[in-house]
Amino acid sequence: MQTVKMVITGPFNAGKTEFIRSVSEIDVVSTERKISDSSARTKEETTVAMDFGRITVDRDLVLYLFGTPGQKRFDFMWEILSEGMLGFVVLVDSARPETFREARRILDIFRSYASTPYVVAANKQDLDDAWSTDDLRIALKVQPGVKLLPCVARDKESVKSVLLELLYSILDTTSE
């Protein structure tokens, strides 16, 4: 059996924990804590170390998903979590342009850890004010060859299709 490690990263509140919870077939191992910092209080809890989930694609292939914390003060975990990854997803909250710059910064940091395939997932496409993938590509300066996919992290099928696209990219590079 082959296992593939994927990292799910992105800015604070992008939906990383939700994304992994939607598809994982095991109870996600989460490290969420109550947010103490009032400036960051847009929700109750934030990831402080990692999320871990698993999804079986078929008898021979299992994906291990590692979600990162989004807040900068926990970014010491990023490099540790990237160890041995075969690909990564950068999740972006499509309705919060003020986070796009941080998303781009995170993308570059993860590219510097390893030259693996990656995809950008334009999350929260269910929101009225979500930017389109075309506009996001321009805002984030994502090159034409890189997959930028619409996503709703609450929807299992949507998450699966993002993971499959990343998987195809990984399989493309390993079969060369």
Ligand X SMILES: Nc1nc2c(ncn2[C@@H]2O[C@H](COP(=O)(O)OP(=O)(O)OP(=O)(O)O)[C@@H](O)[C@H]2O)c(=O)[nH]1
Residues interacting with Mg ion, by CB under 5 A? 16-17, 47
Q: Pattern 22-61, binding to ligand X, x per CB under 6 A? A: ---------------------x--xx--------------
Residue of minimal Cβ distance to ligand X: 70
Two tokens, residue 143 = 């090159």
Q: Hey, what are 115's tokens?
A: 């030259």
Nearest to 102 by CA among 113, 93, 111: 93
Q: Which of residues 5-24 bind ligand X (CB under 6 A)?
A: 10, 12-18
DSSP SS3 for 132: coil
Nearest to 52 by CA among 84, 16, 88, 79: 16
Instruction: Give the residue, chosen from 24, 82, 116, 123, that forms a contact with ligand X under the rule CB under 6 A.
Output: 123
CA dihedral 84→7→48→136, nearest 10 degrees, is 140
| Sole binder of ligand X in the list 53, 69, 117, 150 (CB under 6 A) | 69
Question: 30 or 133, CB closer to Mg ion?
Answer: 30
